[in-house]
Amino acid sequence: MDQDTKELNKVVSIDDSRIKNHLDGLVRSSVEETLNSMLDAEADAMCNAQRYERSADRVDNRAGHYSRKLHTKAGEVDLKVPKLRRQTFETAIIERYKRRESSIEESLIELYLAGVSVRRVENITEALWATRVSPSTVSKLNQKIYKKLEAWRNEPIVGEFPYVYLDGIMLKRSWGGEIKNVSVLVAIGVDREGFQGILSVLEGHKEDKSGWSGSLAYLKTRGLMGVKHIISDACMGLYESVGDYYPEADWQRCMVQVHRNVYNRVPSRKVKEVARMLKAIYTQESHEAALAKSVDIVGKLGDMKLPKAAGLIEEKIGETLTYYKYPTNHWVRVRSNNPLERLMREIRRRTRVVGAFPDGQSALMLAPARLRHVAGTRWGTRRYLTMDELYKPDLEVAEIARSHSPKKVRKTVGVIFLREIIRANQAKSFPSTRLVR
């Protein structure tokens, strides 16, 4: 039986590659035949008579055809485009001078924005559609979306964004024959309904005061308002710029950045122990308890002969505890820049394949293109925070106004706002950020 099976296998063999090539050829020829038939039908409609038909209603005559190629999902097909004697043949099937199907162009753009380099696109298109698309063609196609991205970057900001996250990323660009750094400054926010949104993507030569002042001025001009809490790293000049444009907003330094700076001042064998100690600060139930815990940790680090780490915590810990002024269920998400860091990793992943950009405009277009793509996913459509607790006084006032007399409203609202003013003053009267051992 086994011998018979072996003999049968020698007789019957299937060449998958030949079958695939044959099927591809059948599909391609079918697409080509269908498109040419449609072009002939359009030409007959414009002539008001079929080819070679003698008719008194004929308004034009055929004058042969010209050949052109079209790249489709089935591969490259040869089209015979009719020519007319009196009219210019216009077809609704393909645009004039168009060399590839619209879906292919859209796919090429999506490949580029998804992180595929323009040179790798050339190999991918050959594998998918049996035709090579040059890098210059991909670059020209991308120009189509740049205008849309520019309009998206500059559209007005609608609504209030109580929480705003700021960060920047350094990219490489060619400048006067040299490779220079260029920074892209990014801002995202959480709106009054609790949804995240991209607020701005702006080019800056450096992450310094002038760069951040320009970025915050740009946000202010486009209508960003209602800002209560700004979270960022301790970039040069950022804190001063926040005070210039949003003086009523609190500033929170990213706790993760402070932790990393502390770890750099600790021997590697003690990093895990110090990390557990720092984590204990942010598990406290109040600002006062967190400060007390930090004082205790500073003392322990001193006993461990780690004066640099102790000094850094003593000096900077207060900048990382501003979030205690806000609702408890928001603490984890408004004490670090992690929400924005995830997006910055997306930009780094996408720009890593580019290397050095030819100009700042290219960098400024690719970064927002990737962010806009992310904003259209679940990231921008799911509720990130429940904001009822943050706006509770406003809700109380609105409810009282609906159900009480004007005199009762004035009295009750006064009590509510007095209570909130006392609470706010207690929150602002935090102990000094400079700890005493």
Q: Are residues 398 and 281 in the same domain?
A: no
Q: Is residue 132 part of a domain?
A: no
Q: Is residue 112 part of a domain?
A: no
Q: Are residues 24 and 54 in the same domain?
A: yes
pLDDT by residue for the chain (437 residues), tens only, comes to: 556 555 545 554 545 455 445 445 555 666 677 677 777 888 888 888 887 788 888 888 887 887 777 666 556 677 778 888 888 777 655 655 454 444 555 666 666 666 566 666 666 666 555 566 666 666 666 676 777 788 888 899 999 999 999 998 887 776 666 777 778 889 999 999 999 999 998 887 666 677 888 889 999 999 999 999 999 988 777 888 888 899 999 999 999 999 999 999 999 999 999 999 999 999 999 999 999 999 999 999 999 999 999 999 999 999 999 999 999 999 999 999 999 988 888 888 777 766 666 665 666 777 888 888 788 788 888 899 999 888 875 545 445 445 555 555 455 545 444 455 445 554 444 443 333 32
Q: Is residue 146 part of a domain?
A: no
**Residue 27 and residue 356: Cα distance in Å, rounded?**
42
Q: Is residue 306 part of a domain?
A: yes
Q: Is residue 93 part of a domain?
A: yes
Q: Give the domain range for residue 215.
A: 152-381
**Residue 231 and residue 239: Cα distance in Å, rounded?**
10
Q: Are residues 220 and 188 in the same domain?
A: yes
Q: How many beta carbons lie within 10 A of that of residue 175, not counting itself? A: 15
Q: Are residues 258 and 396 in the same domain?
A: no
Q: Is residue 363 part of a domain?
A: yes
Q: Are residues 375 and 398 in the same domain?
A: no
Q: Are residues 191 and 222 in the same domain?
A: yes
Q: Is residue 308 part of a domain?
A: yes
Q: Is residue 435 part of a domain?
A: no
Q: Are residues 222 and 359 in the same domain?
A: yes
**Last residue of some domain: 99, 129, 160?**
99
Q: Are residues 55 and 165 in the same domain?
A: no
pTM beyond 0.75: the answer is no
Q: Are residues 357 and 337 in the same domain?
A: yes
Domain count, the chain: 3
Q: Are residues 345 and 414 in the same domain?
A: no
**CA-CA-CA-CA torsion sign (212, 424, 253, 153):** negative
